[in-house]
A and B are shown apart, each in its own frame.
Chain A
């Protein structure tokens, strides 16, 4: 079957990715440079403003999943006492560390993950990051600081925002001691500005999928989101998304669709199944179905960033996340997305080890269908642990769902 042409910007993405990881390797060898580990929606801008190189363990864990090596390492974590039922990012990442292995070696020739000088987490997604980073704090004997965010918010208010902002300011004071340099607000303002611009462009990229047919899929989004996650706050992320956005606009003008003869449009709620991105992408392609949008890729859109009020705006941006909303907030968000992206069906991924990102637990699929009349499918799988993924059952579920959408 003739395939749609691939996205050309991917080549530049590979280049800047390699540059980023190699940069971390260089920094880890230079005693004058400091490395901070940060949770993926943690206060990266603060760290960048204080001249830390920032490493994101969740990104490393996603690579373990995408390279289908996570299951090689999960047993090592389980053996030292972590439950196989908890975050498989955590268990695979710690397991890889215990085995002294990393997918960076095969991909970039990098021998090991960079040693941190400090660990910074935010519980705005889950508690697991706190336990995860605590392991490394002990291993590396380095300080760890965290933001404990309010969760399941019905309506975000100033008390929520102030709580988080104050914790961020406190972290800044700790970072001054580690770097032996003063925090400069002007530098934070600049980083917030850059992150905001990156976020705006990433949003523009994702919005291209509201075109019928879409020039990109959710599976493309999982790859191209890398700069928004690990390079926000840097000009290079902005440059990349300008390039990608232009290419997608050209594809729309030339009527190049991500899925040839796109017939159905799907919204994906929940985490990616990292080890099955290619096989799922191929299956949907063969079914002439485009997974056009997702809650996951939209998680790195921070429209609340405001360089004129960096701490409060960061606090708002990092608390006002989909994952942190109440059920009603989430349903309203999904209703808007269904409308915006002309969705025919919603797939909910019930990730075994990520309950916070699995919106199947409290009856949301049924309620959403009652609100929108849009049918849905629940898939049981996981972000990294492929032991809980039943390939045959998932393929049949997806195929049957698309048959249902076709009226069969």
Chain B
């Protein structure tokens, strides 16, 4: 695989920073993910350096696009990153991964969820979650904290359930309380957790109509594959999941970086 030059896409999210490096042939040469924390510059630098393939250095990166929550927070001496929103980057990645398809992309992130429609390879419109973080990764983090389980365990517990409980509360905080109350009343923890995933999916499909081929992506999907099964159930069709959902947006950013060089 020829490496140089390299094109970087850095998705600086509120929870995680993801970097992808492509070569001129659009092949992935390196990836890295780390917590964003409060120092977004540091997080982006760390993942960029860690993503560099062996025998490459930063000066091999010819063009860079930053996206996500922290897209305006990254600076390098030798290169000025372009900034493009994660919505456009997601659509770009989808058009590349699923060419010539009419798609609805569902991207579930740490603090927001986006539904993006792609028509004939071009972004047609988009909608984001409104007003609160119900239906995002934050909901699951809060739930894990309340139940004193790790975020990783949530997916396994949900997989053990075949009878999800309905959770009525919209509010992340009140939903957590509702779950604890029902467990105290005898509900199985795995049924409540699977119910929580169902709750996320319900919040998501309220955002916009879901039609054509559906791509489900984002960090939440990457770490909670049970949500894919639930989308299949609720939508009555098999959704498409890209090879690396957590890096999807960064991929789109890197593709924009590459395009800007031609």
Contact = CB atoms under 8 A, between A and B. Distances in A.
Are the chains A and B members of one assembly? yes
B88 interface: yes
B128 interface: yes
Contacts of B128: 393, 396-397
Contacts, number: 35
Nearest to B208: A366
B141 interface: no
Contact of A392 (B69, B87, B125, B126): B69
A407 B131 contact: no
Interface in B118-143: 122-123, 125-128, 130-131
Contacts of A403: 84-85, 87-88
B213 interface: no
Interface string A43-61: 0000000000000000000
B85 A396 contact: yes
Most buried by A among B85, B86, B122: B85
Contacts of A407: 122
Nearest to A390: B131
Given A404-B125, A408-B123, A380 B130 contact: yes
A393 B112 contact: yes
Nearest to A403: B88
B125 A375 contact: yes
Interface residues of B, number: 15
Contacts of B87: 396, 400, 403-404
A392 B84 CA distance: 14
Contact of B123 (A378, A396, A399, A404): A404
Given A388-B131, A397-B128, A400-B126, A408 B69 contact: no
A388 B130 CA distance: 11
A400 B125 contact: no
A408 B125 contact: no
A399 B88 CA distance: 10
Given A393-B112, A399-B85, A404 B126 contact: yes
Interface in B85-115: 85-88, 112
Contact of B131 (A380, A399, A400, A408): A380
Interface in A371-408: 375, 378, 380, 388, 392-393, 396-397, 399-400, 403-404, 407-408
A393 B126 CA distance: 13
B130 A408 contact: no
B87 to A, nearest CB: 4
Contacts of B126: 400, 404
Task: Give the interface SS of chain B, mostly helix, strand, loop or mixed.
Answer: mixed
Nearest to B116: A400
Contacts of A378: 127, 130
B85 A400 contact: yes
Nearest to B69: A392
A407 B121 CA distance: 11
Interface residues of A, number: 15
Most buried by B among A350, A399, A404: A404
Nearest to A401: B126
B169 to A, nearest CB: 18
Interface in B11-70: 69
Most buried by B among A380, A400, A404: A400
A408 B112 contact: no
Contacts of A399: 85
Contacts of A350: 130
B90 to A, nearest CB: 10
A399 B87 CA distance: 10
B207 to A, nearest CB: 11
B260 to A, nearest CB: 11
Most buried by B among A380, A388, A407: A380
B199 to A, nearest CB: 21
A172 B193 CA distance: 66
Contacts of A408: 84, 88, 123
B252 to A, nearest CB: 10
B184 to A, nearest CB: 32
B38 to A, nearest CB: 15
Contacts of A393: 112, 128
Contacts of B125: 375, 404
Given A380-B130, A393-B112, A393-B128, A400 B88 contact: yes
A396 B86 CA distance: 9
Contacts of A397: 128
Interface in B69-92: 69, 84-88
A375 B117 CA distance: 12
Nearest to A376: B125
A109 B203 CA distance: 50
A393 B69 CA distance: 9
A404 B122 CA distance: 9
A404 B88 CA distance: 8
B185 to A, nearest CB: 32
Contacts of B84: 403, 408
A199 to B, nearest CB: 36
Contacts of B88: 400, 403-404, 408
Nearest to B68: A396
A393 B68 CA distance: 11
Nearest to A397: B128
Most buried by A among B87, B112, B127: B87
A378 B130 CA distance: 9
A373 to B, nearest CB: 11
14 contacts: A350-B130, A392-B69, A393-B112, A396-B69, A396-B128, A397-B128, A400-B87, A400-B126, A403-B84, A403-B87, A404-B87, A404-B126, A408-B84, A408-B123
Interface of A: 350, 375, 378, 380, 388, 392-393, 396-397, 399-400, 403-404, 407-408
Given A388-B131, A397-B128, A404-B123, 10 more contacts: A378-B127, A392-B69, A393-B112, A396-B86, A399-B85, A400-B86, A403-B85, A404-B88, A404-B126, A408-B123
